[in-house]
Amino acid sequence: MSELPGIVIAGASGRMGQMLIQTVMASDKVRLAGALERPGHDWVGQDVGIAMGGTTLGVVVSDDVLETMSQAQAVIDFTAPEATLALNKIAAQARAAHIIGTTGMTEAQIEQLEPASRHCTIVRAGNMSLGVNLLVQLTKQVAAALDEDFDIEVIEAHHHHKVDAPSGTALMLGEAAAEGRGVDLNAVKDAARDGITGARTRGHIGFSNIRGGDIVGEHDVLFAGQGERIVLRHMATDRALFAKGALKATLWALDQRPGAYDMLDVLGLRK
């Protein structure tokens, strides 16, 4: 048996799941140890390579999370909040690193990850690209430098299949802006404007969401003042960059003590 660390991919049939499988298979530092899908899914019981329309990879898609996790050192998870919470408990039991790219999690759900972080390494991020995490840092710095004469708006665009809004990345950027200004995002967040909303409240941070076509992911942070605007932008053109970031996070997590981390820790950007 290979001595390489075994990685399980949750949500194997999804767009990100398939990209993650391809990324793991192409790596010489890890091996694909398992592929998970929900009970009743058409892929369960099939070789994951055949299910993806390719050749046999020697890994059968399973709905038995406990058995699959017992054979791995880490799981990469871009699924849904409830599925992530269930998987997190089993990752803790297996002492396996849990790399979470799931978006749409509430604060209460994120808090539910804390007990598992005492037993396993968790890396959770709304976006795992280097560029976005640099953008987060820049957003924090610019927000700290500008006062409330500058309105802040986070504008994001994604493909029409995306089910949550604002995106996890947009919320990361909003949190960074709020932190830069020394305020609680929940107290100053403006989202989903519709109808006669009245004038914008000074100091609030707004969110605008676009869904359409096959947009991989675009994020702007707009600082709009009187007579001038500053725009920080990141555009993703290939979701492979998220899979590569997730694999980087996995390799980093394998050498860490149990705890809760994010991509700023992985990339050495935390101050």
Contact status, residue 153 vs residue 207, Cβ threshold 8 Å: yes
CA–CA dist 19, 22 (Å, integer): 5
In sequence order, which residues have a C-beta less than 8 Å from that of residue 252 and are 6 or more positions away? 123, 265, 266
Average pLDDT over residues 135-163: 96
pLDDT score of 69 more than 60: yes
CA distances from 165 to 156, 168, 240 (A): 9, 8, 22
Give the pLDDT confidence score for residue 270 in this predicted structure.
Answer: 77
| Domain coverage including residue 27 | 6-124+239-266
In sequence order, which residues have a C-beta less than 8 Å from that of residue 271 and are 6 or more positions away? none
Which listed residue (158, 234, 244, 248) is catalytic?
158
Model confidence band, residue 248 (pLDDT cutoffs 50, 70, 90): very high
Query: Roughly how many angstroms between the first and final C-alpha of the chain, as a whole number?
Result: 41
Model confidence band, residue 1 (pLDDT cutoffs 50, 70, 90): very low
Q: Taking all residues of the chain, what is their mean pLDDT, rounded to a whole number? A: 95
271 is catalytic: no
Same domain flag for 156 and 55: no
Instruction: Tell me what percent of the residues of the chain surpass a pLDDT of 70.
Output: 99
- Burial class for 143, CB neighbours closer than 10 Å (0-12, 13-18, 19+): buried
pLDDT score of 182 more than 50: yes
Stated pTM of the model: 0.82
Same domain flag for 63 and 93: yes
Model pLDDT for residues 117-126, shown as the tens digit of each residue: 999 999 999 8
244 is catalytic: no
Question: CA angle 180-183-188, nearest 5°?
Answer: 115
Model pLDDT for residues 74-110, shown as the tens digit of each residue: 999 999 999 999 999 999 999 999 999 998 899 999 9
Average pLDDT over residues 225-234: 98
Which listed residue (41, 119, 159, 162) is catalytic?
162
In a domain, 1, yes or no: no
As for how many domains the chain has, the answer is 2
Structure tokens at 75: 């799981």
- Burial class for 214, CB neighbours closer than 10 Å (0-12, 13-18, 19+): exposed
CA–CA dist 11, 14 (Å, integer): 6
Same domain flag for 41 and 53: yes
In a domain, 249, yes or no: yes
* Residue 159's CATH number: 3.30.360.10
